[in-house]
């Protein structure tokens, strides 16, 4: 676990003070501060304005206010500064870390917090080469500028997270993922929202995690290849600080019945929380929205199975969230958008009510 978060260098005590104050209100861990001895001034004999006698009382005020656990100095400070600081704060009660509600928290340049009273979250999926032929063509032809426009349009259209997938047989998926994510990171109007890095290939997912700023979501892992592989991947995802989508899939295949969805998700939850130490609020289950009206009788209840699985998951796996690809439900009616939109609206109404 992380010991502390803090600020070091760049600023003097006057400039750093309001930032440390804000940090102390929200951080659930220890707070550190190592300000410079003021802002550099080449006209001064020492190059910095703060002396040991002027710096130490300011930092003592911070500690008296309950803002700090670790304190020191950076540029311009000397052993004399550190001695005065140590003497000034000796015996003063340190900062008590804040209690943070266990909500699902994601971020790009801006934070997205999913609370119990939050509405459902829209994930933009047009930056997905497997689901969007138009986007795939842009990536395959190297037109990354136009591909960025697709991402931007999704954010402008209200997507709170954007899903990025480069799984295409004619692509070097790792290289394409890295290049596109680095370009996204240079566009503040796009990278303000969190990224969901999406792939069926672990090496592509990890490449994505290495190139994302903020707190991302991995889409996805499952028990398909057994518990040990699942644990190894989940451990790395946690190390990167990301949330994870877990598919209702195990060694026997995809969960299609309510019972199988419950069994696989509860088993995954237990492994993640008890063996990996994954925060429950960073676990997002996808219990498989499968296509109805295929002409096969046992498929007719797939929508109900998903909704009932969602209800059960929210009641029995505390903190976990549920996601799903809505368009799958109506795939039998592709080409008939009026019917598909009506099906999606009805399905969402019941699914959101279920949790």
Count CA atoms within 13 Å of residue 12 on its CB side.
16
pLDDT tens for the chain, 355 residues long, are 689 999 999 999 999 999 999 999 989 999 999 999 999 999 999 999 999 999 999 999 999 999 999 999 999 999 999 999 999 999 999 999 988 899 999 999 999 999 988 988 999 999 999 989 999 999 999 999 999 999 999 999 999 999 999 999 999 999 999 999 999 999 999 999 999 999 999 999 999 999 999 999 999 999 999 999 999 999 999 999 999 999 999 999 999 999 999 999 999 999 999 999 999 999 999 999 999 999 999 899 999 999 999 999 999 999 999 999 999 999 999 899 999 999 999 999 999 999 8
**pLDDT for residue 2:** 83
How far apart CA 200 and CA 345 sit, in angstroms, is 29
Q: Are strands 217-221 and 111-114 parallel, antiparallel or unpaired?
A: unpaired
How far apart CA 45 and CA 100 sit, in angstroms, is 46
- Quick check: helix, strand or coil at residue 306? helix
CA-angle at 308, arms to 303 and 313, nearest 5°: 125
**pLDDT for residue 338:** 96
How far apart CA 38 and CA 76 sit, in angstroms, is 8
**pLDDT for residue 268:** 99
CA-CA-CA-CA torsion sign (253, 258, 263, 265):
positive
How far apart CA 15 and CA 31 sit, in angstroms, is 17
Q: Which of 246, 245, 198 is nearest to 223 (CA)?
A: 246
Show the tokens assigned to 337.
Answer: 């958008």
CA-angle at 328, arms to 326 and 334, nearest 5°: 115
How far apart CA 245 and CA 234 sit, in angstroms, is 10
Q: Are strands 253-254 and 249-250 parallel, antiparallel or unpaired?
A: antiparallel
Question: DSSP states of 52-67 as a string?
Answer: HHHHHHHHHHHHHTT-
**pLDDT for residue 168:** 94
- Strands (E) across the chain are located at 4-8, 30-34, 70-71, 104-107, 111-114, 123-124, 161-165, 195-198, 217-221, 243-247, 249-250, 253-254, 283-286, 321-322
**pLDDT for residue 100:** 84
Is the distance from CB of 224 to CB of 251 less than 8 angstroms?
Answer: yes
- Quick check: helix, strand or coil at residue 325? coil
How far apart CA 275 and CA 272 sit, in angstroms, is 6
Domains and CATH numbers, the chain: 4-89 (no CATH), 104-354 (3.20.20.20)
Question: DSSP states of 7-27 as a string?
Answer: EESSS-HHHHHHHHHHHHHH-
Q: Which of 299, 202, 290 is nearest to 254 (CA)?
A: 290
How far apart CA 9 and CA 27 sit, in angstroms, is 20
Query: Element (H or E) spanning 334, and its range?
Result: none
Q: Where are the alpha helices (DSSP H) in 35-187?
A: 52-64, 79-89, 133-140, 144-156, 173-185
């Amino acid at each position: 676990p992380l010991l502390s978060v803090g600020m070091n260098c760049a600023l003097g005590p006057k400039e750093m003070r309001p930032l440390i104050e804000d940090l102390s209100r929200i951080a659930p861990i220890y707070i550190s501060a190592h300000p410079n001895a003021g802002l550099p001034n080449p006209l001064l004999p020492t190059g910095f304005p703060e002396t040991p006698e002027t710096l130490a009382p300011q930092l003592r005020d911070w500690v008296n206010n309950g803002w700090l656990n670790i304190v020191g100095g950076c540029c311009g400070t000397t052993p004399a500064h550190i001695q005065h600081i140590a003497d000034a704060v000796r015996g003063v009660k340190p900062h008590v870390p804040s209690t943070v509600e266990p909500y699902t928290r994601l971020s790009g340049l801006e934070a997205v917090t999913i609370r119990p009273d939050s509405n459902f979250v829209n994930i933009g999926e047009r930056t997905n080469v497997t689901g969007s032929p138009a986007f795939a063509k842009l990536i395959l032809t190297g037109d990354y500028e136009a591909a960025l426009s697709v991402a931007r349009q999704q954010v402008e259209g209200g997507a709170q997270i954007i899903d990025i997938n480069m799984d295409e047989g004619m692509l070097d998926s790792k290289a394409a993922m890295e290049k596109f994510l680095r370009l996204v990171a240079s566009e503040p109007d796009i990278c303000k929202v969190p990224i969901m890095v999406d792939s069926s290939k672990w090496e592509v997912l990890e490449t994505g995690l290495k190139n994302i700023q903020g707190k991302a979501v991995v889409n996805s892992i499952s028990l398909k290849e057994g518990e040990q592989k699942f644990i190894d991947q989940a451990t790395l995802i946690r190390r990167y600080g990301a949330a994870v989508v877990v598919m209702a899939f195990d060694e026997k295949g995809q969960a299609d019945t309510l019972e199988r969805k419950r069994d696989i998700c509860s088993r995954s939850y237990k492994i993640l929380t008890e063996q990996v130490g994954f925060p429950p609020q960073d676990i997002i289950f996808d219990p498989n929205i499968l296509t109805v009206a295929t002409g096969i009788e046992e498929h007719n209840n797939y929508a109900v199975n998903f909704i009932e699985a969602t209800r059960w998951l929210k009641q029995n796996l505390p903190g976990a969230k549920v996601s799903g690809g809505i368009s799958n439900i109506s795939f039998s009616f592709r080409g008939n958008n009026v019917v598909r939109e009506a099906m999606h609206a009805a399905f969402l109404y019941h699914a959101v009510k279920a949790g």
